[in-house]
């Protein structure tokens, strides 16, 4: 094709000319080499392509030159010549903007009327949007906040007018802050890298929290090439890089890329600077089949290499920031450190199932350290990234579960995986389970990154009702500076419980700011099993027999309770005609399990199993459930309305004991206190509970009905609603 590129010696024009020539097209490049910035830089920009016989350079001012010979025979016209720069467009400078952006554009269109090119592509700008809501859609009302933006918008309107009235086949491409090698010397990255290279401070305008949807020049060139053949005449199309990040974050990345500490001098935010830009690129996908390819980190590296030389850059990797462009399809990460048992994973999977149902187009990524994750069925739109497993060996002390790694080494590795995953996936909401800073602070780099790279994303802490003895939680939180982490990073705190069981705000002495973003969702109910109770009973007990189910959660510390129960069967009080199912849990150490098997063999009406994927079926069928006081077990017991006898553990944490006692106070369960747990007492309590079943005593049922009636067991719906509201705030309603 025969192409005319205006502004061919400029930053973007020179890249486009090179690509066209490489593809075998003939290019006439026009440029006036004006002095907006040093014309020798422009000469360098086109030095290479000028040596190609397919390229012809015409030095001319489009405001004055006779345009007919330039347009003669041109199939594709790319109109990139113009007066760029947002901040300098006020005052006397405006006449240059008027001339080069409006007058030149109108002259070119007049000439195009009689020359019938196949396509005229116009370099428009994100600055036509001003401070429109993000992501910016082409349908939004353009309200530029700088005179520059006004002139670029005029250019678009001229394109439309000549298209409608004279059929000139125009298309306007709205470039969002372009960067890469040859970036103009007045633009941010070029200025930053120059200052860093000279060991000078960079000048930061405003707080640095303004965001830009920085777009790599190679991607812009790709889109220009698509725009000449695609079915898009008359359209205006956004071109954004997909990672709308703060300027502060870019400075951090530049520090990592150059290995230099970036010094900053702050200056007042200039007039005309839009606070945030982020492109909706749906139209670009639909009309041009275009998506940005370059990640911000790689693109920045290319520009840094061009400006400073490869030898001045560090080698170490940095998190690659997502080039996410599908802004209206929600993404969620749920992080669970999962260092002990199954509880955290179960809770997160319950929430995942609720969200997955409510948002069928949601993409949900679990970040979990649980070695058991592959045993659980995942909803269709859920996937997981597995962190290397660690086990908790003492309070705040962890060890690699299977890998031969030092604790500090494995924390560092997990932290890097978490950081990279969050950066690449670019979630709209990050839901952190239980530990505000993650295991040993492994989450902090990801939180810091997300705040800066995707400030619009929401970060949520999900707390089960009781963490531990309040005084201990307060001490740990003080040590980890959780108060300021909650204030700085978290938008919302969801409590999967009710204040009647624990008022977390008072108990953990949260600040008024954190208290204001705390919401009680209630307990997370489990879906009842589809197995009919009678069918389950028929599997485990004979007609007329009572069924006792004994469960010890994951099994890591269930031995003592199960041992007590099996021993209780030898006691005189132990009732006749009772069948039992004893579930050890998958994490019970093998020697403990063998010992329990030995004990169980003495009792023909006992079935010992180590895992069931349908615990709810068992609980539904039971007359009495003897269990520990773990959060999930209690949710399961509440969900099926089982008669529960709770023997909570009291070490290393008091959490189960506090929960069990609170439930007993509310009339929802009976508790065997840890220091009085003996086979005799277990036997006696089981016998009494079974006797109350015989009598038809329904007092616990009534308490449960009241509890459920107050919405205390509506946690999944409430959590889904809370997260849904956050999605709405991040994503533009479809
Ligand atoms: P640039 O200044 O490097 O390139 C523009 C070129 O046009 C310059 O070489 C200049 O000499 C030439 N020119 C200006 N007036 C002329 C005239 N009257 N006659 C002939 N040549 C003239 O700028 P750039 O960053 O490459 O931008 C190219 C186009 O893209 C501009 O229209 C700009 O408004 C638009 N744009 C750029 C960005 C960005 O981030 N760089 C973003 C949005 C839109
Ligand atoms: C860029 C181009 O310069 C415009 O020509 C283009 O039209 C516009 O993108 C667009 O997308 O439409 P801008 O977003 O201001 O304009 O790009 P930069 O000059 O790279 O500035 C990015 C941010 O860095 C701005 O918020 C700016 O205030 C800030 N900045 C810039 C600094 O903090 N310090 C500097 O030294 C330079």
CA of 129 to the centre of ligand 2 (A): 14
**Whether the Cβ atoms of residue 324 and residue 450 lie closer than 8 Å to each other:** no
pLDDT for the residue 85? 96
Atom of ligand 2 nearest to the CA of 176: 11
**CB neighbours (10 Å) of residue 372?**
17
Mutation probe of ligand 2 site: the residue of 86, 172, 237 with most atoms within 8 A of C-beta: 86
pLDDT for the residue 66? 98
Q: Whole-model pTM above 0.75?
A: yes
Between the alpha carbon of residue 717 and those of residues 354, 357, 386, the distances in Å are 7, 11, 27
Q: How many residues does the chain have?
A: 734
384 counts as catalytic: no
pLDDT for the residue 397? 85
What whole-number distance in Å separates Cα of residue 40 and Cα of residue 48?
Answer: 14
Q: pLDDT digits over 252-294, tens only? A: 999 989 999 999 999 999 999 999 999 999 999 999 999 999 9
Q: With a 6 A CB cut-off, is 63 part of the ligand 1 pocket? A: yes
What whole-number distance in Å separates Cα of residue 256 and Cα of residue 726?
Answer: 32
Exactly one of 97, 122, 129, 148 is catalytic; name it. 148
pLDDT for the residue 572? 66
100: tokens are: 């080069």
What whole-number distance in Å separates Cα of residue 397 and Cα of residue 529?
Answer: 37
H-only helix segments in 399-517? 407-425, 444-453, 470-479, 482-489, 504-507, 512-516
229: tokens are: 């053949």
**Whether the Cβ atoms of residue 486 and residue 514 lie closer than 8 Å to each other:** yes
What whole-number distance in Å separates Cα of residue 111 and Cα of residue 12?
Answer: 23
Cα 562 to its chain centre, rounded Å, is 41
Residue nearest to atom 36 of ligand 1 (CA): 125
pLDDT for the residue 451? 92
pLDDT for the residue 257? 93
Atom of ligand 2 nearest to the CA of 174: 12
For 56, phi then psi, to 5°, come to -120, 125
Mutation probe of ligand 2 site: the residue of 187, 194, 240, 276 with most atoms within 8 A of C-beta: 187
pLDDT for the residue 349? 95
Residue 653 exposed, middle or buried by CB count within 10 Å (0-12, 13-18, 19+): middle
pLDDT for the residue 729? 84
What residues of the chain score a pLDDT lower than 70?
317-318, 327, 572-574, 732-734
pLDDT for the residue 567? 95
> Nearest CA to 237 among 134, 318, 156, 300?
156
Q: With a 6 A CB cut-off, is 180 part of the ligand 2 pocket? A: no
**Whether the Cβ atoms of residue 588 and residue 620 lie closer than 8 Å to each other:** no
Residue 601 exposed, middle or buried by CB count within 10 Å (0-12, 13-18, 19+): exposed
pLDDT for the residue 372? 87
Q: With a 6 A CB cut-off, is 86 part of the ligand 2 pocket? A: yes
Ligand lying closest to the C-alpha of residue 180:
1
Ligand lying closest to the C-alpha of residue 194:
2
Atom of ligand 2 nearest to the CA of 186: 19
């Amino acid at each position: 094709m025969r192409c005319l590129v205006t502004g061919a010696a400029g930053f973007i024009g020179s890249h486009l000319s090179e690509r066209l020539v490489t593809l075998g097209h003939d290019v006439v490049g026009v440029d006036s080499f004006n002095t907006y910035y040093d014309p020798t830089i422009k000469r360098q920009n086109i030095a290479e392509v000028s040596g190609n016989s397919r390229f012809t350079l015409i030095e001319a001012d489009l405001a004055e030159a006779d345009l007919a010979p330039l347009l003669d025979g041109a199939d594709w016209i790319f109109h990139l010549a113009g007066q760029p720069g947002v901040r300098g467009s006020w005052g006397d400078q405006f006449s240059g903007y008027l001339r080069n952006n409006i007058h030149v554009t109108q002259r070119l269109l007049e000439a195009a009327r009689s020359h019938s090119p196949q396509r005229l592509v116009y370099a428009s700008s994100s600055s036509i949007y001003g401070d429109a809501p993000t992501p910016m859609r082409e349908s939004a009302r353009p309200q530029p906040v700088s005179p520059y933006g006004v002139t670029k918008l005029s250019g678009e309107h001229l394109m439309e007018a000549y298209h409608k009235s004279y059929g000139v086949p125009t298309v306007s491409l709205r470039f969002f802050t372009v960067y890469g090698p040859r970036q103009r010397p007045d633009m941010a990255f070029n200025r930053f890298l120059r200052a860093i290279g000279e060991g000078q401070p960079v000048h930061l305008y405003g707080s640095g929290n303004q965001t830009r949807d920085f777009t790599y020049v190679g991607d812009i060139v790709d889109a220009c090439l698509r725009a000449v053949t695609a079915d898009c005449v008359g359209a205006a199309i956004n071109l954004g890089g997909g990672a709308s990040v703060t300027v502060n974050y870019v400075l951090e990345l530049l520090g990592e890329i150059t290995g230099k500490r970036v010094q900053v001098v702050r200056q007042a935010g200039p007039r005309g600077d839009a606070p945030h830009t982020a492109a909706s690129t749906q139209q670009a996908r639909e009309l041009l089949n275009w998506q940005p390819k370059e990640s911000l980190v790689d693109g920045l590296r290319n520009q840094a290499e061009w400006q400073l030389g490869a030898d001045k850059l560090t080698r170490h990797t940095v998190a690659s920031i997502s080039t996410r462009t599908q802004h209206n399809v929600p993404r969620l990460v749920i992080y669970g450190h999962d260092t002990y048992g199954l509880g955290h994973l179960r809770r997160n999977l319950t929430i995942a199932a609720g969200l997955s149902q409510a948002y069928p187009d949601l993409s949900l990524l679990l970040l979990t350290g649980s070695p058991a994750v592959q045993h659980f069925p995942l909803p269709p739109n859920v996937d997981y990234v597995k962190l290397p497993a660690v086990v908790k060996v003492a309070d705040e002390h962890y060890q690699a579960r299977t890998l031969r790694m030092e604790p500090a080494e494995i924390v560092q590795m997990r932290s890097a995986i978490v950081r990279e995953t969050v950066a690449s996936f670019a979630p709209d909401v990050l839901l952190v389970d239980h530990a505000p800073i993650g295991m040993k602070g492994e989450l902090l780099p990801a939180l810091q990154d997300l705040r800066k790279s995707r400030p619009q994303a929401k970060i949520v802490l999900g707390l089960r009702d009781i963490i531990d003895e309040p005084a201990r939680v307060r001490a740990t939180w003080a040590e980890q500076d959780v108060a300021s982490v909650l204030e700085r990073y978290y938008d919302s705190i969801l409590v999967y419980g009710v204040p009647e069981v624990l008022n977390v705000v008072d108990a953990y002495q949260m600040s008024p700011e954190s208290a204001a973003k705390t919401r009680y969702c209630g307990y997370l109910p489990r879906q009842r099993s589809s197995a009919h109770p009678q069918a389950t009973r028929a599997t485990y007990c004979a007609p007329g027999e009572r069924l006792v189910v004994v469960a010890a959660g994951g099994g890591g510390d269930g031995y003592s309770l199960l041992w007590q129960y099996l021993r209780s069967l030898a006691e005189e009080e132990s009732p006749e005609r009772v069948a039992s199912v004893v579930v050890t849990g998958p994490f019970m150490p093998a020697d403990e399990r063998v010992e329990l098997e030995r004990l169980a063999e003495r009792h023909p009406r006992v079935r010992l199993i180590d895992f069931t994927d349908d615990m709810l079926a068992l609980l539904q069928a039971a007359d009495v459930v003897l269990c520990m006081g773990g959060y999930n077990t209690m949710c399961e017991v509440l969900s099926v309305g089982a008669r529960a006898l709770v023997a909570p553990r009291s070490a290393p944490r008091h959490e189960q004991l506090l929960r069990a006692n609170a439930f007993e106070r509310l009339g929802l369960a009976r508790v065997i206190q840890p220091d009085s747990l003996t086979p005799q007492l277990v036997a006696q309590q089981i016998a009494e509970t079974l006797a109350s079943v015989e009598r038809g005593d329904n007092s616990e049922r009534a308490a449960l009905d009241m509890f459920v009636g107050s919405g205390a067991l509506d946690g999944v719906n409430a959590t889904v609603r809370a997260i849904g509201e956050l999605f709405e705030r991040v994503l533009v309603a479809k």
